[in-house]
Amino acid sequence: MIVGYARVSTIAQDVEMQRQALLELGAEPERIYTDEGFSGKSLNRAGLREAMAAVREGDTLVVPRLDRFARNAEETLRQVRELTERGVIFQMGRTAYDPRDPWSKLFLTFLAGMAEAEGAWISLRTQEGMANPEVRKKLKGRQSKLTPEQDEAIAIHLEEGRMTPGQIATRFNTSRSSIYRAASRHRARTGGGNG
């Protein structure tokens, strides 16, 4: 079985291109797990946990690119080692990692280090940009696509607990992380209650 995993670091980014790449690599639609709005620095992500739990010995976990899996070299290597010990094949795009091949190990280590460095460079450029008062003045913050009424409905659904966060996200055509932000906005508007 081929299990796919995709990640985007902001909700504004579209995970669909990665999902399409995973389908082309042989992952079945119901076996593709995603995280939207999560940094690659931390591996504490629901979609990644689900993907890691879904694979069994003989299965393949495929990611479009290594930086979509993680941007932390040490954790990347640890997770890939865990997969290998479980008999799971780790694949980046069309390249499968072979733990018996020293060149494959070198390549993975190099890519993991590059992914981490790239994340750090992005962070530095962002900090440098934010240090400029003109840039800060132009930033007004991203506005939610959800209305206050939708925020209230989401908060009620979460409180009732009859639907999973994933089901609520699907109903409102948004991500799981967005539903928690919607509930938080509603609480802030109403002073903590559901109104």
Predicted local confidence at residue 195, as pLDDT: 45
Closest-CA residue to 9 (of 131, 171, 118, 128): 118
User: Which of 9, 39, 104, 144 is flagged as catalytic?
Assistant: 9
Rounded-to-10 torsion of CA 23, 49, 10, 174: 80
Grouping H, G, I as helix, E, B as strand and the rest as coil, residue 82 is helix
For β-strands 60-63 and 95-96, DSSP reports them as: unpaired
pTM reported for the whole predicted model: 0.58
One-letter amino acid at 182 equals A
- Judged against a pLDDT cut of 70, whether residue 43 lies above it is answered with yes
Q: Which CATH number fits domain 2-117: 3.40.50.1390, 3.40.50.720, 3.40.640.10, 1.10.10.10?
A: 3.40.50.1390
d(CA 114, CA 117): 5
The ranges assigned to domains in the chain are: 2-117, 148-188
d(CA 93, CA 142): 32
Q: Mean pLDDT score of the chain, rounded to an integer?
A: 86
- Annotated catalytic, 144? no
Spatial neighbors of 143 by CB under 8 A, at least 6 apart, are none
Q: Confidence class of residue 194 from pLDDT cuts 50, 70 and 90?
A: very low
